[in-house]
Amino acid sequence: MPCSTAATMKVLITGGSGFVGLALAEKLLADGAEVCLFSAAAPPDALAERVACDRLRIVTGDIRSADALGAALAASGATHLVHAAAITPGPERELREARTILEVNIGGTANAVACAAECGLARVVVLSSVAVYGFSPPAASCFYEEAGSAPAPATLYGISKLAAEQTALRLGALYKLDTRVARLGPVFGPWEYATGLRDAMSPHQQILAAARGGRSIVLPRPMPADWLYSRDAAAGLVKLLLSNKLTRTLYNLGAGRTSDLPQWCVALGRAGLQTDWRLAREGEEPAIRYNLAQDRAAMATHCIAAETGFRPRDDLDAQAVDYLGWAEGLSL
């Protein structure tokens, strides 16, 4: 049975030095938990300093190594595991590193669940992605629903995340380990930086960087999506770690509403950052690049809301102010 409060948890986060891992660590530490970041590399000093705490330890290791992960779990005394380690490739890396992508995204997941079971952890939350839906038609609600939408991944990342979900849930059942999957929507916000494992930064980060550098922002298209603020993603994951009322093994974790890139540019302007932006003209090369070739539907979030009470904040202006404050003094 999961702990009743974050302050009584000891959480190991695989991929902990990455974007979502650091956002989650920030939230858990603020709530009083002990956190161990397990990752292939330590975070940059500028970010490590911001999350530094006597309840935080950082361990470097390969998610594919049972010895390395098992030792980190034992040393940390972890009660819970969040498995966030993954490679998020673009098409070029798919061609170049297909085997490594599958070894990390699928094999790493199998390793994480097995090690968690051997260490007797209370709960494992495995991070998946909206990418498992590909560009399939949404449910009648016009949203992707956990039970009403068939996955149809269109990339090696989506394929590997769907296989990782199924691997985690099957092994969790065999080990009798409380295992949950969270399908994250597209995430933006604090703690995003170039790790070398994600081939495309969020367009929101690219826009922010361009505006701070005084560069023109040429958008490829409005790109409406259920863009999820990183601090909201972390809050939702903590809810899944804590709740003792979960009835499902799989939850969508998205923003629950749609926003687009022009709205983000306007929000940054209202927050005090001058943004010279426009949509690309026909045949013009955009300055903002993203691997998503076309728009897709938002994910339904009523299941996680009903069972945990989690609801993302619906205030793009407040997120722009918060993100600008976080980015102050950073050049990542």
Contact 106, 167 (CB under 8 A): yes
Number of domains in the chain: 1
The tens digit of pLDDT for each residue in 266-305 reads 999 999 999 999 999 999 999 999 888 899 999 999 999 9
Predicted local confidence at residue 1, as pLDDT? 47
- Whether residue 269 lies inside any domain: the answer is no
CATH classification at residue 140: 3.40.50.720
Cα distance between residue 116 and residue 175, in whole Å = 10
Given a cut of 80, is residue 219 above it in pLDDT? yes
Query: Cα angle at 323 between 223 and 85, to 5 degrees?
Result: 75
Q: At what angle do helices 19-30 and 230-242 cross, to 10 degrees?
A: 60
For residues 21-53, one letter each, b for 16 or more C-beta atoms within 10 angstroms of the residue's C-beta and e for the rest, the string is bbbbbbbbbeeebbbbbbbbeebeeebeebbee
Q: What is the CA radius of gyration of the chain?
A: 19
- Whether residue 32 lies inside any domain: the answer is yes
Given a cut of 70, is residue 2 above it in pLDDT? no
Given a cut of 80, is residue 331 above it in pLDDT? no
Contact 230, 189 (CB under 8 A): yes
Which residue type does 12 have? L
What percentage of the chain has pLDDT greater than the value 90? Answer: 92
Q: Which residues contact 114 (CB under 8 A, 6 or more apart)?
A: 66, 171, 175
Task: Give residue 54's domain range.
Answer: 7-188+228-255+299-312
- Whether residue 320 lies inside any domain: the answer is no
Predicted local confidence at residue 3, as pLDDT? 45
What percentage of the chain has pLDDT greater than the value 70? Answer: 98
Contact 13, 226 (CB under 8 A): no
The tens digit of pLDDT for each residue in 143-170 reads 999 998 999 999 999 999 999 999 999 9
- Whether residue 208 lies inside any domain: the answer is no
- Whether residue 74 lies inside any domain: the answer is yes
- Whether residue 181 lies inside any domain: the answer is yes
- Whether residue 303 lies inside any domain: the answer is yes
Name the band, by pLDDT with cuts 50, 70 and 90, for residue 122.
very high
Cα distance between residue 2 and residue 126, in whole Å = 15
Mean pLDDT of the chain: 95
The tens digit of pLDDT for each residue in 62-79 reads 999 999 999 999 999 999
- Whether residue 100 lies inside any domain: the answer is yes
Cα distance between residue 30 and residue 176, in whole Å = 31
